[in-house]
A and B are shown apart, each in its own frame.
Chain A
Amino acid sequence: GQNIDQPTEMTATEGAIVQINCTYQTSGFNGLFWYQQHAGEAPTFLSYNVLDGLEEKGRFSSFLSRSKGYSYLLLKELQMKDSASYLCAVSDSNYQLIWGAGTKLIIKP
């Protein structure tokens, strides 16, 4: 079966760095997406990785290792507005997105 695993909840301090991990087992791989979802709002696109390595975009970076079935989202200089759920999704061999349950990130002052 297809499976995406990510921690249910994480807590971090304002100004710090946090890493949210995602491991996956899917039938085929056509890229991995990270989305951010604030409570009561739509998920919004953060990043896309299809090749191994690190993609940096401002305070957010995303890493992929296809051989390990592993990705992480790195958030630097955390701000209170970063409190949200972070969703990992893998595009499988049919380009269908397989979603993780999301990681709720709580930022404390």
Chain B
Amino acid sequence: ETGVTQTPRHLVMGMTNKKSLKCEQHLGHNAMYWYKQSAKKPLELMFVYNFKEQTENNSVPSRFSPECPNSSHLFLHLHTLQPEDSALYLCASSLGTSGDSSYNEQFFGPGTRLTVL
């Protein structure tokens, strides 16, 4: 248990569906992240929120829409996805987004395995 939970753990959806991924952290952290992990590829940073404000959006298609209502919760809303979006979606949190390892160390949730048909 890392203190970061994600639901659902597995999701199968059609290309016309709308679904949402949820992430919650119980660590008192201020920064939260969404990553995409595909087989044999580096983790791809999608979005970063620091104190509920979005600070990074790494050219992610608009069919992925993040929401951060407070520092403990992060959502990823999915709409009209493509089969190539099938991957493991990881949420992470950290104390901050700068400074030494105690601030920058990221704690990950178990991920949501997404399959788009």
Contact = CB atoms under 8 A, between A and B. Distances in A.
A74 to B, nearest CB: 19
Interface residues of B, number: 23
B42 A31 contact: no
Chain A interface residue count: which class? 20 to 34
Interface in B97-117: 97-101, 104-111
Given A99-B42, A101-B41, A101-B42, A33 B101 contact: yes
Contacts of A45: 105-107
B45 A48 contact: no
Given A42-B109, A42-B110, A43-B90, A95 B104 contact: yes
Contacts of A97: 43, 45, 104, 106
Nearest to A104: B40
Contact of A42 (B45, B98, B111): B111
Interface of A: 4, 8, 30-31, 33, 40-45, 48, 50, 87, 89, 91, 95-102
